[in-house]
Structure 1
Amino acid sequence: MTLAASPDRERVVRPKRARHLSEAMRCETAFRLILSECLEEVATNHEALSSGDPAALHQTRIALTRLKAAIAFYGPMVADSEWTRLKSELKWLSAHLGATRDLDVAIENSKGLPEERMLQTARTDAFDALREALQSDRYWQWFDGMWDWVGSGPWTTRQDPRAAQRRAVPVSVFHARRLARWHGKLCQKSRGLQGMGKNKRHRVRLASKRLRYAIEFSEGGLPPDEYASWRIILKHLRKGQQLLGELNDDEVRRGLLESVDAPAQRAHERKAKHQRVHERKRKSRLLRHAAAVYRKISS
């Protein structure tokens, strides 16, 4: 593994390169291309993210979500002891990113309201912790370790026939089979969406993200007519993800307000019964629209 870098050392950012999947490409080649693209996006946004740019934070989180989706998509082919270790470190990093990003969204949805200042203070504290993480040796060990793993991790040298076969399967064959499986699972999970609790609904949202990114990864790797059908599902997934994301943002914001100043929030709620009625109506409307979208995805 590459040695940890000093936080003060200038990092060498690998140049971006176009990612082109083809139907006959081996799965191991496609996986490396997809993961390289995600890591390059993280590297590109690192400086702006460390300076506090909310857009860079958002793009970094997307890149890491795509990275995790790709690893889950290729599943057994890449699962090894090194990924188990790196996954644990990624969870640590994602917690810092998520805490700051949740506050950014909550602040955006609280413009002009009394709680905006409380959220801004909490955001400053969360970002200080994130910046410290981004400048740590632990972060650079994880980042360099990811590059090493993608290129030459244990998964690349397993010699048993099944492992070698998985690496050599053409993209068109593997992606078609895997997309169909993920689509079927999402259809099952999304049944009864309007009556779901927030935890089950959150799992539907995560499964939607993963399927969306998997479809996007598959461009060029499937025959054009086959991919055209997935593009229709992709359009519905984006809409469904948006609706479920708005519901999630509302719930996260309520939780953040309670955590940063619980007494003030309770007093505010007692004075704003009409606001709670508005929130219930909004939730019902978003769920109704989301349920309609997921019926289209399942049809």
Structure 2
Amino acid sequence: MTLAASPAKERAVRPKRPRQLSQAMRCETAFRLILSECLEEVAINHAAVLAGDPNALHHTRIALTRLKAAIAFYGPMVADGEWTRLKAELKWLSAFLGATRDLDVAIENSKGSPEERMFRTARTEAFEALKGTLQSERYQQWFDGMWDWVGSGPWTTTQDRRAAQRRAVPVSVFHARRLARWHQKLCQKSRGLQGMGRNKRHRVRITSKRLRYAIEFSEGGLPADEYASWRIVLKHLRKGQQLLGELNDDEVRRELFESADARELQKRKRKAKRRKEHERKRRSHLLRRAASVYRKVAG
């Protein structure tokens, strides 16, 4: 069953779902609830993204990051071949969203600087590519496919007994165990952060972001006293994500500047090459005419 026909229709036909989980809720129900919220957020912002709104684009990227975090959190109990296909399509879509978003951030951080104009030019080009993507049949098929997968994908009927048992586990049990595991994983990865290279630091940032979203998903799904301790972790994660995000923005901005500068250099080279070719042809043309005249002079 298709749960939504299109991003344009989604806003009109689907009411906002309740935000919080409950402790006794089955994991299968919680998973559907979380992913539905993420897809609704994408649909709500669709028109504004097409209109060029940077904030709508940012919210769309967050919704898709949360979606991926939720699927990773519930892991084997929901993963199947159809998700593998949809995930590849999501990677394709994310590349266009990310390229435009990176330039939005670079523009915001370059106000009044010489490179701002360069970033704005690059943003116009990136946005046109993104707009074409969001209006494509390929995107529409991916979006509808995601709703179909959430509602009735292969994971919902798999005969794997262990996966079925996991889907029936109460949220309070599964989330407590899974959060503890993800927290331990982040603690291990973040050791020696100051001496890390960029790639390892990026993995810490991704792991941190996923744990943050997982904790936010868990609100209502854990006993109040238990969730209170996770709130403290959440506070630190938000601050850490902000700091690592600023560091990443600086690195991306530098790369964008170098890339834009390289493109500008290539444009100048191509322009000089065309000008040189034009001058060569003009010189040849003038010399042919002059030679013709002087042959007449020679009689």
Partner of 2:208: 208
Shift of the 65–79 alpha-carbon distance from structure 1 to 2, 3 Å rule, reads: same
Instruction: Give, as a single letter, the amino acid of the residue that structure 2 aligns with 1:63.
Output: A
Indicate if the aligned counterparts of 1:5 and 1:137 stay in contact, CA closer than 8 A.
no
> What is the deviation of 1:28?
0.1
Partner of 2:66: 66
Deviation per CA, 1:152-195, whole angstroms, max 9, x where unpaired? 00000012321210110110010000000000000000000011
Partner of 2:291: none
> What is the deviation of 1:5?
7.4
- Counterpart of 2:145 in 1: which secondary structure? helix
Instruction: Give, as a single letter, the amino acid of the residue that structure 2 aligns with 1:215.
Output: I
Partner of 1:227: 227
Runs of 4+ in 1 over 2 A off after TM superposition: 9-15, 262-265
> What is the deviation of 1:12?
3.9
Indicate if the aligned counterparts of 2:20 and 2:217 stay in contact, CA closer than 8 A.
no
Any residues of structure 2 matched to 1:97-246 within 5 Å, and which? 97-246=97-246
Indicate if the aligned counterparts of 1:5 and 1:141 stay in contact, CA closer than 8 A.
no
Indicate if the aligned counterparts of 2:10 and 2:40 stay in contact, CA closer than 8 A.
no
Deviation per CA, 1:190-238, whole angstroms, max 9, x where unpaired? 0000111111111100001000000000000000000000000000000
Any residues of structure 2 matched to 1:259-270 within 5 Å, and which? 259-262=259-262
Indicate if the aligned counterparts of 1:23 and 1:172 stay in contact, CA closer than 8 A.
yes
Structure with higher Rg: it is 2
How far apart in 2 are the matches of 1:189 and 1:142? Answer: 33
Once superposed, what is the RMSD of the aligned Cα atoms?
Answer: 1.9
Shift of the 263–92 alpha-carbon distance from structure 1 to 2, 3 Å rule, reads: closer
How far apart in 2 are the matches of 1:263 and 1:57? Answer: 25
Q: Which segments of 5 or more consecutive residues in structure 2 lack a partner in the other structure?
A: 266-299
Deviation per CA, 1:110-146, whole angstroms, max 9, x where unpaired? 1000000000000000000000000001111000100
**Residue 25 of structure 2 is aligned to residue 25 of structure 1:** yes
How far apart in 1 are the matches of 2:250 and 2:47? Answer: 30
- Counterpart of 2:9 in 1: which secondary structure? coil
Identity %: 84
How far apart in 2 are the matches of 1:248 and 1:10? Answer: 33
Q: Across the two proteins, how many residue pairs are aligned to each other?
A: 263
- Counterpart of 1:159 in 2: which secondary structure? coil
Indicate if the aligned counterparts of 2:158 and 2:164 stay in contact, CA closer than 8 A.
yes
> What is the deviation of 1:16?
1.4
> What is the deviation of 1:20?
2.8
Partner of 1:288: none
> What is the deviation of 1:240?
0.3
Instruction: Give, as a single letter, the amino acid of the residue that structure 1 aligns with 2:71.
Output: I
How far apart in 2 are the matches of 1:264 and 1:191? Answer: 41
2:9 to 8, 11, 34: 11
How far apart in 1 are the matches of 2:67 and 2:163? Answer: 21
After superposing the two structures, state which structure 1 stretch, 19-28 or 246-255, moved more.
Answer: 19-28
When normalised by structure 2's length, the TM-score is 0.85
How far apart in 2 are the matches of 1:12 and 1:250? Answer: 36
Indicate if the aligned counterparts of 1:99 and 1:126 stay in contact, CA closer than 8 A.
yes
Deviation per CA, 1:10-67, whole angstroms, max 9, x where unpaired? 5343221222311111000000000000000000000000100000000000000000
> What is the deviation of 1:257?
0.4
Partner of 2:34: 34
**Residue 110 of structure 2 is aligned to residue 91 of structure 1:** no
